[in-house]
């Protein structure tokens, strides 16, 4: 079921400033940028070497999860995304073990769900369905 790490999510004050640092320091390349108005955030995928991806997340409003996270912590590591091939089945398996799963987006174009930090020793873990 598990296919490895998909990406590491990092909450940042400015995607552009962080991207400039990653590009100058590591030769990183931005591969996509998406606006999520309902979540009050913009996200950019950044590739370091073909195998390693970051998701840089910038708040576009104070009330979204990223805005609140940055206000509370100043930014930094937000989540680790794990690939799986059958999200619904894996979430059901986790919930049967008593693990709390939130933010289930089974019908979204990119299917994701999150293991609540209280069930994961303080880590926010995103589960992302990746076929093939």
Give the pLDDT confidence score for residue 40 in this predicted structure: 97
pLDDT truncated to tens, each residue of the chain (132 aa)? 899 999 999 999 999 999 999 999 999 999 999 999 999 999 999 998 888 899 999 999 999 999 999 999 999 999 999 999 999 999 999 999 999 999 999 998 899 999 999 999 999 999 999 987
Q: Are 9 and 55 in contact (CB under 8 A)?
A: yes
Residue 72 parent element (H or E): helix 65-73
d(CA 79, CA 73) in angstroms, rounded, equals 13
Give the pLDDT confidence score for residue 69 in this predicted structure: 96
Give Cα separations from 2 to 22, 82, 109, 125, 128 (angstroms): 28, 7, 20, 13, 10
Which residue(s) pair with 115 in the sheet?
Answer: 101, 125
Q: How many CA atoms lie within 13 A of 131 on its CB side?
A: 4
Give the pLDDT confidence score for residue 18 in this predicted structure: 97
Give the pLDDT confidence score for residue 66 in this predicted structure: 97
CATH number 3.10.180.10 is the correct assignment for the domain at 2-129 = yes
3-state secondary structure of 126: strand
d(CA 13, CA 67) in angstroms, rounded, equals 9
| Phi, psi of 84, deg, nearest 5 | -140, 160
Could you state, in order of their start, the residue ranges of all structural domains in the chain? 2-129
């Amino acid at each position: 079921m598990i296919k490895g790490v998909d990406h590491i999510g990092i909450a940042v004050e400015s995607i552009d400033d962080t991207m400039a640092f990653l590009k100058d320091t590591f030769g990183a390349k931005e591969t996509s940028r998406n606006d999520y108005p309902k979540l009050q955030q913009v996200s950019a995928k950044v590739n370091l070497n073909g195998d390693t991806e970051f998701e840089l997340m910038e708040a576009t409003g104070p009330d979204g999860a990223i805005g609140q996270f940055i206000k509370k912590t100043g930014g930094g590591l937000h989540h680790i995304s794990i690939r799986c091939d059958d999200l619904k089945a894996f979430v059901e398996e986790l919930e049967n073990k008593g693990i709390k799963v939130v933010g289930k987006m089974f019908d979204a174009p990119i299917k994701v769900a999150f293991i609540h930090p209280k069930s994961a020793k303080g880590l926010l873990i995103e589960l992302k369905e990746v076929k093939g």
